[in-house]
Structure 1
Amino acid sequence: MGVDLGLKAPAVSVTSTGKTKFIGNGRPNKYIRRKYKSKRSELGQAKKLNASKTLNDKEQRWMKDQDHKISRKVVDFSNIRNTARTSRKNEKNLHTWSFYRLALFIEYKAKLRGIAVEYVDPKYTSQTCPICRNRNHVKDRNYQCSCGFKTHRDRVAGMNIIHAPVIDGVA
């Protein structure tokens, strides 16, 4: 199974049989982050630093809760097979949203069920056609290849992650 982590769809799981599940919705996450950022800015201008820190802690707890819920759904969906492969999307994004923490939650919950997690290089996973292997630049959420293959961009990434080489060659 391949799992693509992202902002608009926090996790997209694709099995080797082609079964796909979009897990979570990035809109509430984006809304909460904007809401708390605005409130922290107001508190910072009012020199209420303790209140700002408390608000930041509240936001982090909310995000952690979302990560737990999403990782549970990913692991529950992965019961179909005993191997799961996930991708750490764009190292710079690890700090803008909790991709790293979500990947860790998926890993430890999968380990509790005896499911192996392998990390792969996410480079070009959402741009490479899983059918003809041509690389296409995607402008929208919908992926379309010259060979006629069409699907959601995150689903393409999940399909490619299934067959991607493991980082460090460790299986």
Structure 2
Amino acid sequence: MKTVVQVKLMPDAAQEAALSATLRTVNELACWVSEVAFVHGVPREYALRKHTYTHLKAEGLGAQAAQHVIKKVRDSYTTLHANIRAGNLGEPGSKRRRKAESKPIVFRPEAAQPYDDRCLSWQYDQQTVSIWTTAGRVRNVPFAGWADALKTLREYRRGESDLVERDGAFYLVATCEVPEAQTYGPDGFVGVDLGIANIATASSGYRAAGRGLNRYRRRQLALRAKLQRKRSKSAKRRLKARARKERRHATNQNHIIAKRIVAEAERTSNGIALEELRGIRQRARLRKPQRATLHSWAFAQLGRFLEYKARRAGVPLVYVDPAYSSRECAECGHTDRLNRISQAEFACRSCGVVAHADRNASRVLARRGQDAWTAGCESRVPAIP
């Protein structure tokens, strides 16, 4: 299983200047390669190399760096075309799609640059790296990271690493091939109901309340509106910084929630049944004041975190259809719109059971997960002699 580990570089003044100049040079040349690709109808990587490789070498890039710049540009166009085919940029003729198709891709001056083992070498014992720059090879650049990340980096790093600059600091994002644990046969399933009032409610009893995160987002929304009214360069700079800070905060919360749910499922030898919510933003019909809340709901990220943490721990995970799970009784199976009294209250019209609405839905999802797992397993009935 592929995962990434991020470490922070701590260069001195001369090393920092070399790294900064390198990123700006390679991204400026990447913009030029992108223009060439756009003019020639975005040819394949080999054909694009014939149009651009000689110029990149003449501009001072090494052979590997030039190859990576070309590959980065070609991969960017591949991603763009995949998003267009998937409809992520709107219907044909829409303003957003026309804008994306009418001009070359542009790379930010501090955009990530990939490095392979010929351009970057790691010294784990000294916690330093040797890295190629346009000013020559820069050696003994210290890096730091938390203990588990450094252990994963030492044992499982494979393939390329990306040099990234954020807010004047430099980071290396390394790809690691972590072995997956053997998936066990679950004794049962933990249903996970995702929502906004409660970010995640598990049938095991764990509930991650969304009150704090929603309050934080409302405060950030008010601060963004205040900055947007100023329309100054410094306000725009602060807006970008706040957006990154809010994204990091939500990501950290999702990591904590996913870790708790997977650890509980592993401890009890259970699997995880998760709602399949793909396309909910297109299906949901909400009033304008509610749209910001829905679109800032990072349910897909939480699902990805649950999935990869479950794979690392060997915990079975299945996606189930969430249709009418909020109206179905976990005790008797009776489904009725009137069962859901309010956001938090559930009372079955058939058997009379009263429960927290999200907890009831998580139990329904757990049963559906068990059914899905049983249907997908091989039969254990002995063969007829």
SS in 1 for 2:250: helix
Give the structure 1 partner of residue 311 of structure 2.
111
Alignment of 1:11-160 (within 5 A): 11-14=200-203, 19-22=204-207, 24-47=208-231, 48-79=235-266, 80-89=268-277, 91-92=280-281, 95-137=295-337, 138-140=340-342, 141-146=344-349, 147-160=351-364
Question: What CA distance in whole angstroms lies between the structure 2 residues aligned with 1:84 and 1:135?
Answer: 23
Question: What CA distance in whole angstroms lies between the structure 1 residues aligned with 2:336 and 2:359?
Answer: 15
TM-score by length of 2: 0.40
Q: Kindly tell me: are residues 156 and 115 of structure 1, through their superposed partners in 2, closer, same or farther at Cα, counting changes over 3 Å?
A: same
Q: Kindly tell me: are residues 83 and 136 of structure 1, through their superposed partners in 2, closer, same or farther at Cα, counting changes over 3 Å?
A: same
SS in 1 for 2:352: coil
Question: What CA distance in whole angstroms lies between the structure 1 residues aligned with 2:359 and 2:257?
Answer: 17
Question: What CA distance in whole angstroms lies between the structure 2 residues aligned with 1:170 and 1:119?
Answer: 12
Q: Alpha-carbon deviations, 1:10-38, whole Å to 9, x = none?
A: 11111xxxx4222x221111111111111
Question: What CA distance in whole angstroms lies between the structure 1 residues aligned with 2:296 and 2:376?
Answer: 28
Query: Residues 275 and 320 of structure 2 are in contact (CA less than 8 Å); yes or no, is this contact kept in structure 1?
Result: yes
Question: What CA distance in whole angstroms lies between the structure 2 residues aligned with 1:49 and 1:73?
Answer: 37
Q: Letter of the 1:134 partner, please give it.
A: H
Question: What CA distance in whole angstroms lies between the structure 2 residues aligned with 1:170 and 1:38?
Answer: 48
Which stretch shifts more, 48-57 or 87-96?
87-96
Query: Residues 83 and 115 of structure 1 are in contact (CA less than 8 Å); yes or no, is this contact kept in structure 2?
Result: yes
Query: Residues 43 and 52 of structure 1 are in contact (CA less than 8 Å); yes or no, is this contact kept in structure 2?
Result: yes
Q: Letter of the 1:55 partner, please give it.
A: R
Deviation at 1:170, TM superposition (A): 6.1
Deviation at 1:132, TM superposition (A): 2.2
Aligned length: 165
**Does residue 4 of structure 1 match 2:207?**
no
Question: What CA distance in whole angstroms lies between the structure 1 residues aligned with 2:280 and 2:264?
Answer: 25
Question: What CA distance in whole angstroms lies between the structure 1 residues aligned with 2:314 and 2:270?
Answer: 7
**Larger RCO (alpha carbons 8 Å, 6+ apart):** 1
Question: What CA distance in whole angstroms lies between the structure 2 residues aligned with 1:142 and 1:30?
Answer: 20
What is the alpha-carbon root mean square deviation over aligned residues? 2.1
Q: Letter of the 1:85 partner, please give it.
A: A
Query: Residues 199 and 209 of structure 2 are in contact (CA less than 8 Å); yes or no, is this contact kept in structure 1?
Result: yes
Give 1 or 2 for the bigger CA radius of gyration: 2
Question: What CA distance in whole angstroms lies between the structure 1 residues aligned with 2:242 and 2:334?
Answer: 47
Where structure 1 has 5 or more consecutive residues not aligned to the other structure, the ranges are none
